[in-house]
């Protein structure tokens, strides 16, 4: 059975003033599929992701999330977003637990506190990302890799079917990249989550990405399938 | 503590402690969003509102409330229109002070009363004014408790909050309106120029020693309330102005907190290993 399309860009165009950043961009990402979006700094990767999430409105074309135009999409619990880490720097002390819980804000609304299932999900994602031991620690005292994983845990706390990550390995060490890769492998293979992952490094997800799409000259270009199977991964 | 049997001190204590405990609760979100001067801008607009109230002959509280609510809406619209945050704040800031001075001078005998509200007069409060302060503080408290989760998400990361399904636009507007309520609530006791200090300084002090957002918020409220009580008593003992005394005590708390933080870090820095 063909997996459902989680994200679809249909002839999407966008520009700042007269400067076109994207034109006629097409992309389909199905559940259980990992698509790496690569390109030079400033090529338009973040713009493309923001269009995909409805944070920017396209000047032409349509973006759909799970078949619904993004402008009228309301089921945001099915979507997780990990922005660039620098964009999430905290002025005041904030614990890992608080960052992760904040991902439930839209689902909880006013007054309500996480129920037993949501608390169990928080514990699960903290465990999945190796953060259980530092749950109460201030995020600012953690390594760059741990901070990045806290943001990923926040995005995963609603058990999304689509996860969008913007340059998640910027400024993190090799060990943290390996942990992140293992977490993504679990999400895609075992939980069949659709993942869109942007990176300036075209080899960032070699062996794990189903497709690699390059943002270049305002367009999206399929550049290569997964170049080599991941060790023991079979992909 | 015979001083606490004096009616004017009781009224001042209730009003100053309530405002100074509630202001940092809101300040925690404002500071985290990098908008520490929003309260200050609102204070200038409230100044215009008070001047207008004297000019047209209505209660100062009504004039201040009306203009700060309008300013909150204007600030929200200009921010969302893409104007840089500090530029939209500056427009509101200078517009408020210019209009306030114009209205105050046109209101004749109201000028001194308007200028008096710039620094507050906690020792001259009536129980009616104290009741208004407590009522506004309760509204702010209920708003913060009800909106705590969404506000935390907004303060941490606006884009991620939007993708998580938080109604960001309405929440930003609500937060700006709540800031306006704090400013108006504190104008009699702390003054329009210094009330916003209690939204920021206790938060800055608490952030030096707290390890979580919730702890920062609670400690900031305690520092605010404590600064108000100590500052007011010190002002009475030293024949000083209450608002100045309260803010200076809060700044003293900030200095103490930075020293505590530095002393905590010293041994850890010598013996820690990066993880």
Phi, psi (rounded to 5 degrees) for A211: -140, 150
Q: Is the pLDDT of residue A30 over 50?
A: yes
CB < 8 Å to B211, chain A: 93, 95, 136-138
Q: A155 in contact with B at a CB cutoff of 8 Å?
A: yes
Nearest to B31 among A54, A92, A158 (CB): A92
Give this prediction's pTM.
0.86
**Is residue B179 helix, strand or coil?**
helix
Q: What percent of chain A stands above pLDDT 90? A: 54
Instruction: Identify the pLDDT of residue A86.
Output: 58
Q: Is the pLDDT of residue B272 over 50?
A: no
Test the B interface: residue of A102, A137, A167 with most B CBs within 10 Å: A102
Instruction: Identify the pLDDT of residue B1.
Output: 65
Instruction: Identify the pLDDT of residue A67.
Output: 94
Is the pLDDT higher at B69 or at A18?
B69
Q: A104 in contact with B at a CB cutoff of 8 Å?
A: yes
CB < 8 Å to B36, chain A: none
pLDDT digits (tens, 9 = 90+) for A112-157: 888 999 999 999 999 988 899 999 999 988 888 888 889 999 999 9
Q: Are B160 and A142 in contact (CB < 8 Å)?
A: no
| pLDDT band, residue A179 (cuts 50/70/90) | confident
Q: What percent of chain B stands above pLDDT 70? A: 94
Instruction: Identify the pLDDT of residue B10.
Output: 96
Q: A235 to chain B, minimum CA–CA distance in Å?
A: 30
Q: A227 to chain B, minimum CA–CA distance in Å?
A: 32
| pLDDT band, residue B274 (cuts 50/70/90) | very low
Residue B229 burial (C-beta neighbours within 10 Å; 0-12, 13-18, 19+): middle
Q: Is the pLDDT of residue A219 over 70?
A: yes
Average pLDDT over residues A202-228: 79
Average pLDDT over residues B88-92: 79
pLDDT digits (tens, 9 = 90+) for B205-234: 999 999 999 999 999 999 999 999 999 999
Q: Quick one: DSSP state of residue A160?
A: -
| pLDDT band, residue A227 (cuts 50/70/90) | very low
Q: Are A55 and B146 in contact (CB < 8 Å)?
A: no
Average pLDDT over residues A65-82: 94
Test the A interface: residue of B28, B155, B160 with most A CBs within 10 Å: B160
Instruction: Identify the pLDDT of residue A228.
Output: 39
The C-alpha atoms of residue A146 and residue B248 are separated, in whole angstroms, by: 39
Instruction: Identify the pLDDT of residue B97.
Output: 87
pLDDT digits (tens, 9 = 90+) for A191-210: 899 999 998 877 777 788 88
Q: Are B163 and A99 in contact (CB < 8 Å)?
A: no
Average pLDDT over residues A99-116: 88
Instruction: Identify the pLDDT of residue B257.
Output: 97
Average pLDDT over residues A19-44: 90
Average pLDDT over residues B47-56: 89
Is the pLDDT higher at B128 or at B105?
B128
Instruction: Identify the pLDDT of residue B116.
Output: 80
Instruction: Identify the pLDDT of residue B148.
Output: 94
Q: Is the pLDDT of residue B94 over 90?
A: no
Q: A87 in contact with B at a CB cutoff of 8 Å?
A: yes
CB < 8 Å to B153, chain A: 102-103, 105-106
Instruction: Identify the pLDDT of residue A154.
Output: 93
Q: Are B157 and A88 in contact (CB < 8 Å)?
A: yes
Q: Is the pLDDT of residue A1 over 70?
A: no
A196: how many CB neighbours lie within 10 A of its CB? 24
Q: Is the pLDDT of residue B128 over 80?
A: yes
Instruction: Identify the pLDDT of residue A234.
Output: 34
Q: Is the pLDDT of residue A188 over 50?
A: yes
* Residue ranges of chain B whose CB lies within 8 Å of a chain A CB: 28, 31-32, 34, 145-147, 149-150, 152-154, 156-157, 159-166, 203, 207, 210-216, 274-275
Residue B272 burial (C-beta neighbours within 10 Å; 0-12, 13-18, 19+): exposed
Mean pLDDT value across chain B: 89
Which residue in chain A has the smallest CA separation from B27? A92
Instruction: Identify the pLDDT of residue A229.
Output: 38
Q: Is the pLDDT of residue A81 over 70?
A: yes
CB < 8 Å to A102, chain B: 149, 152-153, 156-157, 160-161, 164
| Residue labelled with tokens 């700094």 | A41
| pLDDT band, residue B260 (cuts 50/70/90) | very high
Residue B50 burial (C-beta neighbours within 10 Å; 0-12, 13-18, 19+): buried
The C-alpha atoms of residue A96 and residue A111 are separated, in whole angstroms, by: 21
List chain B domain ranges: 10-192
Nearest to B149 by CA among A48, A118, A41: A118
Instruction: Identify the pLDDT of residue A117.
Output: 92
Q: What percent of chain A stands above pLDDT 70? A: 92
Instruction: Identify the pLDDT of residue B267.
Output: 61
| Residue labelled with tokens 């937060």 | B175
Nearest to B162 among A55, A90, A155 (CB): A55
Q: So what CATH class is B10-192?
A: mainly alpha
pLDDT digits (tens, 9 = 90+) for B74-87: 888 877 776 666 77
Q: Are A99 and B215 in contact (CB < 8 Å)?
A: no
Q: Are A76 and B274 in contact (CB < 8 Å)?
A: no
Residue B12 burial (C-beta neighbours within 10 Å; 0-12, 13-18, 19+): buried
The C-alpha atoms of residue A69 and residue A196 are separated, in whole angstroms, by: 18
Which residue in chain A has the smallest CA separation from B145? A111
Q: Are B213 and A98 in contact (CB < 8 Å)?
A: yes
For residue B168, the surrounding DSSP H or E stretch is helix B168-186
Nearest to B165 among A50, A77, A142 (CB): A77
């Amino acid at each position: 059975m063909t997996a459902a399309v989680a994200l679809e860009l249909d002839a999407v165009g966008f520009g700042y003033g007269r400067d076109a950043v994207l034109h006629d961009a097409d992309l389909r990402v199905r559940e259980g599929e990992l698509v790496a979006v690569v390109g030079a700094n400033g090529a338009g990767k973040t713009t493309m992701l923001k269009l995909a999430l409805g944070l920017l409105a396209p000047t032409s074309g349509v973006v759909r999330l799970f078949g619904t135009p993004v402008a009228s999409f309301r089921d945001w619990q099915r979507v997780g977003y990990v922005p660039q880490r620098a964009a999430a720097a905290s002025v005041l002390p904030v614990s890992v637990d608080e960052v992760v819980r904040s991902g439930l804000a839209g689902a909880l609304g006013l007054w309500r506190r996480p129920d037993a299932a949501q608390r169990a999900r928080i514990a699960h994602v903290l465990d999945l990302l190796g953060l259980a031991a530092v749950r109460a620690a201030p995020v600012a005292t953690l390594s760059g890799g741990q901070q990045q994983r806290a943001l990923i845990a926040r995005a995963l706390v609603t058990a999304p079917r689509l996860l969008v990550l913007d340059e998640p390995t910027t400024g993190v060490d090799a060990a943290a990249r390996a942990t992140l890769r293992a977490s993504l492998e679990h999400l895609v293979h075992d939980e069949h989550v659709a993942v869109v992952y942007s990176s300036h490094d075209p080899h960032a997800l070699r062996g794990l990405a189903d497709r690699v799409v390059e943002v270049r000259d305002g367009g999206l270009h399929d550049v290569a399938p997964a170049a080599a199977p991941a060790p023991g991964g079979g992909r | 503590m015979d001083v606490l049997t004096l009616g004017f001190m009781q009224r001042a204590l209730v009003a100053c402690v309530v405002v100074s405990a509630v202001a940092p609760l809101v300040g925690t979100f404002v500071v985290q969003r990098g908008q520490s001067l929003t309260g200050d801008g609102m204070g200038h607009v409230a100044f215009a509102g008070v001047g207008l109230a004297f000019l047209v002959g209505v209660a100062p509280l009504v004039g201040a409330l009306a203009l700060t609510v309008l300013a909150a809406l204007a600030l929200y619209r200009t921010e969302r229109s893409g104007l840089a945050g500090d530029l939209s704040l500056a427009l509101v800031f200078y517009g408020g002070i210019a209009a306030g001075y114009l209205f105050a001078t046109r209101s004749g005998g109201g000028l001194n009363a308007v200028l008096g509200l710039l620094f507050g007069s906690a020792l001259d409060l009536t129980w009616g004014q104290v009741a208004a302060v407590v009522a506004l503080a309760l509204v702010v408290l209920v708003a913060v408790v009800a909106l705590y989760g969404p506000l935390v998400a907004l303060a941490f990361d606006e884009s991620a909050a939007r993708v998580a399904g938080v109604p960001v636009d309405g929440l930003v507007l609500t937060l700006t309106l709540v800031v306006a309520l704090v400013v108006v609530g504190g104008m009699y006791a702390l003054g329009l120029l210094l009330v916003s200090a209690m939204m920021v300084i206790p938060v800055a002090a608490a952030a030096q020693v707290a390890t979580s957002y919730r702890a920062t918020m609670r400690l900031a409220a305690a520092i605010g309330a404590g600064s108000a009580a100590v500052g007011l008593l010190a002002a009475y003992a030293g024949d000083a102005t209450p608002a100045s005394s309260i803010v200076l005590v809060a700044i003293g708390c900030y200095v103490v907190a930075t020293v505590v933080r530095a002393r905590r870090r010293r041994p850890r820095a010598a013996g820690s290993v990066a993880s």
